Chains A and B, each alone.
Chain A
């Protein structure tokens, strides 16, 4: 039997424009990696998403300057190895500061 987990994905600008939302809940198989989740989203949202997140999609390389976080911990270079758990929070954004 396949067990599913729910992950809440948050986007920063301009991914909010590309996806049309700031946040969404995504359901994936338990044991899925963060990379799998990112590629699932890339398939869903197309080239604009892919180009913003990956420098080399085939080689699974996240673009420099794009931050991937899991429960607020930065994991941009570890997405292949880290599996998501139920109720995790994923963030995809570019660093920005001030306020």
Chain B
């Protein structure tokens, strides 16, 4: 099976690999997948708490080249979006952009799950009525 040029590019030059330190404010983290399934993605967003815009995103992925590319692309797309807009990224957008074959669609699904999980974690920490946390983050 040959890989698409974009998958190869993201694999060779992954965007935004890394992690935010634990005390970075405005961070939401999603950790999805399972080692026994051969795919685990950790995706983090760093939100400007004033504007609600995602200023930075980072990922780490255990998985095949397409899983790495899907999460790398997701971080690229997340940067500069509002939290509200971020949830609109669909796995089908990733499939189309990376030209993933049918056997790799689950990689894009996992990337969408990772985005949702990171957003949910962010909301739980900051957006939900949890005044103590918003105070702490200012």
Q: Do A and B bind each other?
A: no
Partner-B contacts on A (CB < 8 A): none
Partner-A contacts on B (CB < 8 A): none
